[in-house]
Amino acid sequence: IKSRPLPWQKATSYNLGIFASIAVTERLFLNFSPDGPSNFQFTPGSHTILLLLQFGIQQQYELGQYMRRRYSYFLSVVYKRSEIYVQSTDCDQTLMSAQATLAGLYPPTQGHIWNPRILWQPIPVHTVPLSHDNKLHFPLRDCPRFEELQNETQTSSEFLSRIQPYMVRLNEEEVKNKKKDFKTENLD
């Protein structure tokens, strides 16, 4: 983020830079094992299709509200293109997270409410194709050394012992989620 001095601030020769890396919160795994929780395994290098849950959207919105309070001393009350640039990976759940965070960060004020029933304003979220994203999207594509180190890490006994408690939790969540009747017609 490059920021210009605000009117009451003395101009300086530097730009204020803030980098916020926000992890996606509550998600639903869509590739659960049909045979039950005991078969859910971590596979190094595997990719799982995820969907952001309503609770996760709420968490991201609240994060935006927190950021509004935390950085109110230099962010304008209204969205200004010259003050903030938002980039996300080109994945549904990270784009949704960015949008929910921005909704909390920049609630519309009088004069910016375009529909009184929808207290939200569109704010651009930029992406680059995943195949060209060498900043935000991991694993890095076409980097044999990265893949070698990632595989070495993900197959190490230390990594596997650290991830084991999370696998137990994932298996518990899988059982709970299988009992719910998820409507999938809106997942496109």
Q: What range defines the domain where residue 107 resides?
A: 27-179
Let me know if residue 15 belongs to a domain: no
- For residue 184, the model assigns a pLDDT of 46
Q: Which pLDDT tens digit goes with each residue over 1-25?
A: 444 444 444 444 444 455 555 555 5
The percentage of the chain sitting over the pLDDT mark of 70, rounded to a whole number, equals 61
Evaluate if residue 49 carries a pLDDT over 50: no
* pLDDT tier for residue 108 given thresholds of 50, 70 and 90: very high
- Retrieve residue 72's tokens: 């109110």
Distance of CA 153 to the CA centre of its chain: 24
User: For position 95, which CATH number holds?
Assistant: 3.40.50.1240
Let me know if residue 12 belongs to a domain: no
Rg (Cα) of the chain, in Å, rounded? 20
- For residue 23, the model assigns a pLDDT of 54
Let me know if residue 138 belongs to a domain: yes
Let me know if residue 19 belongs to a domain: no
The set of long-range contacts for 178-186, using a CB threshold of 8 Å and a minimum separation of 24, is 178/32, 182/28
pTM over 0.75: no
Question: Are 26 and 53 within 8 A, CB to CB?
Answer: yes
Let me know if residue 104 belongs to a domain: yes
CA atoms of 102 and 44, how far apart (whole Å): 33
Let me know if residue 93 belongs to a domain: yes
Q: Which pLDDT tens digit goes with each residue over 162-172?
A: 888 878 777 77
CA atoms of 186 and 188, how far apart (whole Å): 6
Let me know if residue 21 belongs to a domain: no
Greater confidence (127 vs 138) lies with: 127
Let me know if residue 14 belongs to a domain: no
What domain count does the chain have? 1
